[in-house]
Homo-oligomer: A and B are copies of this chain.
Amino acid sequence: MLLLEALGFAQARPEWVAKVRSWVTANQQPIVTELVELLSIPNVAADRVNIRRNAEHLRGMLQKRGFTAELLETAGNPLVYGELKVPDAKRTLLLYFHYDGQPVDAKRWQQPDPFKPETRGDRIYARSASDDKSPIVAMLSAIDALKAAGLQPTSNVRVILDGEEEAGSPSLVPAIGRYREKLNADLMVILDGPEHSSGRPTIAYGARGIATVDLTVFGPKTGVHSGNYGNWVPNPAQRLALLLASMKDEQGRVLIEGFYDGIAPLTPQERAMVNAVPDDRASMLRTFGIASPEAAYTELQVALQAPTLNVRGLSSAFVGEGARTIIPDSATAAIDIRLVRETPSDAMVEKLRAHIRRQGYHLVDGAPDDATRAKYSKIARVAVGRGTNAFRTSPADPQARALAAALRAAMEGEPIHLRILGGTVPIAPFIQALGFPAVLLPTVNFDNNQHEENENLRLSNLFEAVVKIAAILRM
């Protein structure tokens, strides 16, 4: 198989693996206890008091394992930083985690308090159980397990714990200016996100970016009676529909000029990598309740390699009980554009704007004034949200290859290699600014209900994560 050739031959299982597995089996209770203690400290990014309690607690956890640890102060929440130097290090790894979590709506949970973890069946339920506190505990347990086996990491290990990931990681890039020396490494490993739904060890070499825009088409100044003026006053909801239809066809192919510019066809290696991902198409179709995917992208992994134009919301006047027989005053589509490395945010938004202009629209920034309304028949606004670019590391990068080889050997099988994740990680600008390669090593269960109520972690994912991270530490 081309992919295996590209990534190197299979290696024998290292002897430390059995020792680490035995240690984990013997220490399941203290590992879980350490996680439960950490999950019991509320960690919503806006809760400054508890965020700092988390940070100080984590600093202590790092110090307990011999890390030189400190809080790196920022304009926002502190970053928790730790460093563990080893003799004859092969490289320096920067391990990224985040310790903040999504806000909670406790009423919707099946337990009284999302910050009082509960174990039901083989899972722990709590906010951040999966996203992203358990990988931190797994990493520290991996250090413990190696130490119990008389081993150290083979790389210098730097750890950065973000306290604002769920708020978009605004302090990461600014931190580079102040703490550049501490953040240098040969490879960043991002320990966040769910593994592939097959449950197999997963490496992701990148992630799509995102740009969000709200596109508003303006109609009459106020809603106008659809009987008295219907056929005469132009309808902005209809015009929005025509505009959206001009942007993307029935097959799901984006028609905006230059939208796919610069994107090369997949190489045979990349194609093999994409083909090797064991997506269960029938199961996904059943789960989502759809008979077939977009015609232009019948394979999920192929679909994820391209940028998207996604209407994530529509709004114009009222639908249902409140509906009135009017020509609405405006119609808005909330759009997200998922980006790939070749299609940066600013350029894509400009292509969108150009497309809308080519459809005859005059673009305004705010609400159109009377003079603008009198002058232009078609008026629209493109309100741009914050953009995050994509990142992608070549699987042929030597550090990435070493990581893949270590994981393959320890886990006794080919990992799933994802060329890019479909979703977006807010640390992409941080990765770009640092300038060294980065890969994601997701460890938690696919069905962890991340960001929602009843977030949970399968305990087996926690214990397997210890082995996976030990493999990275020994790569």
Contacts and interface: CB of A to CB of B under 8 A. Distances in A.
Interface string A264-292: 00000000000000000000011111111
A374 interface: yes
Contacts of A229: 288, 300, 303, 422
Interface stretch (A119-127, A239-247, A397-405): A239-247
Contacts of A220: 288-290
Interface in A196-243: 207-208, 210, 212, 214, 219-221, 224-235, 237-238, 240-243
A61 interface: no
B331 A314 contact: yes
Interface string A304-326: 10101011111111111001111
Given A242-B250, A303-B232, A312 B291 contact: no
Given A237-B333, A285-B374, A289-B221, A319 B313 contact: yes
Nearest to A314: B316
A66 B332 CA distance: 58
Contact of A316 (B212, B300, B313, B368): B313
B252 A310 contact: no
Contacts of A351: none
A386 to B, nearest CB: 12
B214 A234 contact: no
Contact of A310 (B226, B303, B320): B226
A232 B325 contact: no
Contact of A327 (B226, B242, B312): B312
Contacts of A50: none
A466 to B, nearest CB: 26
A333 B319 contact: yes
Contact of A233 (B293, B316, B333, B374): B293
Interface of A: 207-208, 210, 212, 214, 219-221, 224-235, 237-238, 240-246, 248-250, 252, 285-294, 296-297, 300, 303-304, 306, 308, 310-320, 323-328, 331-334, 336, 338, 368, 370, 373-377, 421-424
Given A228-B423, A229-B422, A318-B334, 8 more contacts: A220-B288, A233-B288, A233-B293, A234-B252, A235-B310, A292-B377, A314-B331, A319-B333
Q: Which 5 pairs, one residue from A and one from B, show the smallest C-beta to C-beta distance?
A: A227-B423, A245-B245, A231-B303, A241-B244, A221-B289
